[in-house]
Structure 1
Amino acid sequence: MTQKIVIGLLWLSVVILEASEAELVEGYPCIRRNNQIYCTGLGSPRLTEKIDKFIDENKALIRRMFGDFEEPDHEFNPNVGRDDHNGHIIHKRPKRAKSNSYNSNKIDSCESSVEIVTPYWASNSAGKIRAIVNTQHLQQAIQQEVCQSVQTKRCNNDCSCEQKYKWHRLLAYDPDDDCKGIFMDWFLFPSCCVCRCNVL
């Protein structure tokens, strides 16, 4: 019992620490950290029902946008393999290997971790927050590479590690306008970590 309490307190302290370094996104079960939205879920079960209903009523349209989708062989559990702190990480690989697969004599100046995420919410190209369609029928995953530090042994002084981003086109839902249904939209996610230096 004591061990469970200690583990619970440790988890709570991590959540409080992360929340203090992040900004809560008003009206959504999310925080904004490092220019990204981290959410524990869609929030309202009613929203999930609306998305599922639209998919069920518009299967031909969804197939044109997403491709074929089938009933899963197993019961969908959105929390399997997810990171407790972010809610949306389904698989986290170790930090990017120091050796480059093209040339073993070279290494990356900046360390990064590669994550595969299935986001619940994201800001689109117009800065509007949209629900990302991730249900038992439709699962959209993004591979992202996130910087682990601002400076490293090889990237320091007038240089620093900088996060780069890439646009991804995903099926989304506007919770404020049911008439839009499900549509394609553009969202920005971390793509790689580079060492940038000041011009002399």
Structure 2
Amino acid sequence: MMKGAHFPATTAAFALLALATFHLVSASDPSSLQDFCVALKNTDAGNTSNAVGSKVTPANVEQIAGLNTLGISLARIDYAPNGGLNPPHTHPRASEFLVVMEGTLYVGFVTSNSDNGNKLFTKVLYPGDVFVFPVGLIHFQFNIGKVNAVAIAGLSSQNPGVITIANAVFGSKPPIKLDVLTKAFQVESNVVEYLQNQFWYDNN
């Protein structure tokens, strides 16, 4: 029969202190710095008469200070009929879920280089449908219907950020060196120059 282990009093006291400290740490409050702040924002229809045929109306911490520390934000996206596009973009600090309110959207995202080698996931969405775009991945929405479309996006950050791919690559100021882009896209320099000379509309 095994004999019970005996600990010196100092060891037992240390163990109790460590256990008490652990409970104090695990009982800490991991929530935000504030309880809440009531705030409202009007999200009227956006003007889609532009080069891409869409308008994003954000409701993040820049528009609503009450979102500070809450880790959430919203956006309304309006799409023109027959091809209104929210161009390929990423949110570096947030995942996004999209709820279609009106119209028909073709949506999708591309996985990272290492995850199935840039695999494209797409779906056609109708009113009431929901789609999720994982954080940081390139995604888009395209109105394939003959009427206006509207969607509401929820994002898991008070300040999700947005990087529109074409704008960032070809519309940077100052421009990215021609040698870099011709090698990256494996095209002639005149193609890159043409793209850099375009007006890259920001729908945000």
TM-score (norm 1): 0.21
Larger Rg: 2
TM-score (norm 2): 0.21
Please state which structure has a larger fraction of its residues in strand.
1
Which structure has more relative contact order (CA 8 Å, sep 6+)? It is 2
